């Protein structure tokens, strides 16, 4: 998938992630706030909504290319970027 994250838009209770690709500019509307997992050494560090630095962590990913989008039942939508992973995983209340 040759697409780069080029914009993050926070709208009331959801967030939109905009991507630019060679032929299209898709976007993802997340009604469940995504988790950002970055690599700090060999351990993955997760940043969830309402954590200090959450918005900054998402914005820091602007310009990164999507490397993979593996799918598996129970994991939600996973976007692997160059330095981090964005996970959108709704759960039933």
Judge if pTM exceeds 0.75: yes
Q: Is 33 exposed, middle or buried (0-12, 13-18, 19+ CB in 10 A)?
A: middle
3-state secondary structure of 55: helix
In the chain (93 residues long), the average pLDDT of successive 10-residue segments reads 90 94 90 82 61 87 92 84 87 53
CA distance 76 to 85: 12
Which residue bears the tokens 């939600």?
76
């Amino acid at each position: 998938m040759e697409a780069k994250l080029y914009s993050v838009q926070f709208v009331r209770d959801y967030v939109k992630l905009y991507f630019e690709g060679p032929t299209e500019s898709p976007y993802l509307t997340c009604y469940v706030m995504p988790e950002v997992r970055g690599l700090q050494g060999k351990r993955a560090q997760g940043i969830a909504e309402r954590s200090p630095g959450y918005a900054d962590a998402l914005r820091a990913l602007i310009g990164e290319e999507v490397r993979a989008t593996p799918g598996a039942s129970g994991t939600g939508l996973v976007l692997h970027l160059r330095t981090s992973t964005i996970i959108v995983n709704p759960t039933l209340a």
